[in-house]
């Protein structure tokens, strides 16, 4: 028994000794830090990307040493730049609130850099002017949480498993104050590393192709599907390469798209079309209920229309053309062809509504067909508007596309069954839902006066998106039921309510039916 305990204690002490001696500790001095060897992964990685992102990104001129070149070296280029673009008393600290990081997306960064072929990424979390990209307690409110983006940039990137290093040279993975200029890689050496990496990759592909060829020779007596397998393996690198190139092009298009500040790329840009949909949806709901109860009180059959008007003025058609023209002009000036296309098709519905008012429709139900066509085009535009977007953005727009396509289907059914009042009511409900969801998308994706934008790579954000969508559906549905009850109570009164839309000797329902027959 004592022998077993003695052996166990011996092995335990030996393990502790090996563990302690194998943990090399460095002292807080440059000699100890400089003694660190180059890590093995660095020799294997060859190519990496260094990112400098901070207050100096706002002026975006010359380099990350902007403040030193401006205030210290008095660079003529920067002196002229500041004089032409900023007031005389403008300080470097005044740039910090402008670092909003509105289009910053850690997932997009990580995916784009991964597709570039880089094996590691270095983020400068704190630069020479002291601004930290995390809420440091030693940076006197000079950090990304207290000023500027109001976000912990490092924490967001840390979730994407970024490398936690500062900088590199030939002899150390960390910063060395006493390093020599010769210790850093020259451009010639960097290009040599790139050439060697590409050469090794090409050699590897040739060996793989040769191996596949030999494998095909040995398997030529096997079944036909086995003989085709080496050919598939031989072609696979080509398809993989082409797929990667296409992905890079998609991400480049995404960057170009987000560099354009358009009306739809902001919170107010979503409020504008959302308000149009909400106003038209409420207008439809009120007029549908008014017509339905008028028909019910006069024992006349109900018949729906896709547009409504005042007695002597096409109010809906004019408002459509006016507001949609404003949005269309703004998108065209911003060179946003997708959003301009959406506005153009809905503007076409306003023109057809004018034809309805003047009773000049060339064929029956052209107004229904035009509105359905505009909805279908809107769904297509938003579907192919999502390439290169993050998951949260895609989920939000997929829910929007679901509402649009449902409205499209309901409108076609309504064109066939115009005497069913629930169909036009459902159409107005869906249009209001589309408008409120535009508001919600703007609140989630962009900076606004009410809420902070959501983290795009947070699983809770994705789960809450569907939950909030159901809340929109439920709240609007309750409001609809309440409105129907109010109209029902008002039309049950002995004296009919005074109508300001269209008063005549016969009921409005009968008058509109006679106009349609003529």
**DSSP sequence for 101-133:** -TT--HHHHHHHHHHTT-SEEEE-SB-TT--BS
Is the pLDDT assigned to residue 468 strictly greater than 80?
A: yes
Is the pLDDT assigned to residue 54 strictly greater than 50?
A: yes
How far apart are alpha carbons 303 and 292 in whole angstroms?
8
pTM of the model: 0.50
Residues 465-491 have a mean pLDDT of 95
Contact yes or no for 114/49 (Cβ under 8 A): no
Is the pLDDT assigned to residue 389 strictly greater than 50?
A: yes
Return the structure tokens found at 314.
């096409």
Angle of helix 391-416 relative to helix 366-383, nearest 10 degrees? Answer: 170
- Burial class of residue 230 in the structure, from the number of CB atoms within 10 Å of its CB (0-12 exposed, 13-18 middle, 19+ buried): buried
Q: Which residues contact 500 (CB under 8 A, 6 or more apart)?
A: none
pLDDT-based confidence at residue 101 (cuts at 50, 70, 90): confident
pLDDT-based confidence at residue 98 (cuts at 50, 70, 90): confident
- Spell out a b/e string for 20-34, using b for 16 or more CB atoms within 10 Å of the CB, else e: eeeeeeeeeeeeebe
Closest CA to 75 of 96, 87, 54, 59: 59
The string of pLDDT tens digits covering residues 337-356 is: 877 888 999 999 999 999 99
pLDDT-based confidence at residue 429 (cuts at 50, 70, 90): very high
pLDDT number for residue 332: 81
Contact yes or no for 414/430 (Cβ under 8 A): no
Residues 73-78 have a mean pLDDT of 86
| Segments making up each domain of the chain, as ranges | 25-188, 189-259, 263-517
Class of domain 25-188: alpha beta
> How many other C-beta atoms are found inside a 10 Å radius of the C-beta of residue 426?
18
The string of pLDDT tens digits covering residues 118-143 is: 878 888 888 778 888 888 777 667 88
Closest CA to 396 of 341, 477, 330, 453: 453
Return the structure tokens found at 313.
């003025």
pLDDT number for residue 74: 85
Bridge partners of residue 143, in order along the sequence: 132
Q: pLDDT averaged over the chain?
A: 75
How far apart are alpha carbons 320 and 337 in whole angstroms?
20
Closest CA to 408 of 435, 427, 386: 427
pLDDT number for residue 400: 95
Q: What angle do CA 478, 483, 486 make, to 5 degrees?
A: 130
Q: Is the pLDDT higher at 457 or at 98?
A: 98
Residues 150-179 have a mean pLDDT of 56
Q: What angle do CA 254, 260, 266 make, to 5 degrees?
A: 95
Query: What letter would DSSP give residue 65?
Result: T
Q: Is the pLDDT higher at 257 or at 90?
A: 90
pLDDT number for residue 143: 83
HEC-encoded secondary structure of 329-370:
HHHHHCCCHHHHHHHHHHHHHHHHHHHHHCCCCCCCCHHHHH
């Amino acid at each position: 028994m004592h022998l077993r305990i003695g052996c166990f204690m011996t092995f335990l002490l030996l393990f502790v000794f090996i563990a302690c001696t194998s943990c090399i500790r460095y002292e807080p001095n440059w000699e100890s830090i400089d003694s660190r060897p180059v890590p093995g992964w660095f020799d294997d990685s060859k190519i990496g990307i260094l990112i400098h992102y901070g207050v100096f990104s706002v002026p975006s001129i010359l380099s990350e040493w902007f403040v030193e070149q401006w205030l210290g070296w008095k660079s003529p280029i920067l002196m002229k730049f500041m004089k032409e673009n900023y007031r005389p008393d403008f300080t470097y600290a005044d740039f910090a609130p402008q670092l909003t990081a509105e289009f910053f997306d850690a997932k997009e960064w990580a995916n784009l850099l991964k597709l570039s072929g880089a094996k590691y990424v270095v983020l400068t979390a704190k630069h020479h002017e002291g601004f930290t990209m995390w809420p440091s307690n030693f940076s006197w409110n000079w950090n990304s949480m207290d000023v500027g983006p109001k976000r912990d940039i490092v924490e967001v990137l840390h979730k994407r498993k970024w490398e936690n290093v500062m900088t590199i040279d030939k002899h150390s993975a960390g910063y060395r104050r006493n390093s020599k200029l010769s210790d850093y890689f020259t451009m010639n050496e960097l290009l040599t590393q790139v050439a060697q990496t590409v050469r090794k990759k090409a050699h590897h592909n040739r060996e793989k192709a040769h191996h596949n060829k030999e494998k095909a020779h040995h398997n030529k007596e096997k079944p036909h599907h086995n003989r085709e397998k080496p050919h598939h393996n031989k072609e696979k690198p080509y398809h993989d390469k082409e797929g990667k190139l296409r992905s890079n092009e998609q991400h480049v298009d995404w960057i170009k798209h987000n560099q354009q500040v358009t009306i739809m790329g902001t919170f107010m840009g979503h409020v504008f079309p959302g308000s149009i949909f909400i106003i038209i949806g409420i207008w439809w709901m009120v007029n549908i209920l008014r017509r339905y109860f008028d028909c019910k009180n006069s024992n006349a059959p109900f018949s729906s229309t896709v547009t409504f008007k005042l007695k002597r003025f096409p109010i809906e058609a004019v408002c459509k053309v006016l507001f949609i023209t404003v949005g269309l002009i703004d998108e065209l000036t911003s060179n946003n062809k997708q959003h301009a296309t959406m506005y153009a098709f809905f503007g076409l519905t306003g023109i057809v509504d004018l034809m309805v008012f003047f009773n000049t429709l060339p064929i029956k139900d052209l107004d229904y067909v035009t509105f359905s066509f505009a909805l279908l085009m809107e769904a297509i535009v938003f579907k192919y508007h999502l390439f290169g977007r993050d998951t949260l953005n895609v989920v939000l727009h997929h829910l929007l596309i679901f509402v649009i396509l449902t409205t499209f289907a309901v409108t076609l059914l309504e064109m066939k069954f115009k005497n069913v009042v629930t169909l036009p009511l459902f159409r107005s409900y869906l249009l209001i839902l589309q408008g409120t969801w535009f508001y919600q998308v703007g609140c989630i994706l962009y900076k606004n006066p009410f809420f902070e934008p959501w983290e795009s790579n947070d699983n809770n954000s994705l789960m809450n998106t569907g939950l909030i969508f159901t809340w929109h559906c439920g709240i609007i549905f309750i409001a609809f039921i309440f409105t129907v009850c109010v109209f029902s109570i008002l039309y049950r009164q002995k004296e009919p309510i005074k109508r300001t839309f269209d008063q005549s000797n016969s009921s409005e329902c009968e008058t509109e039916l006679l106009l349609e027959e003529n």
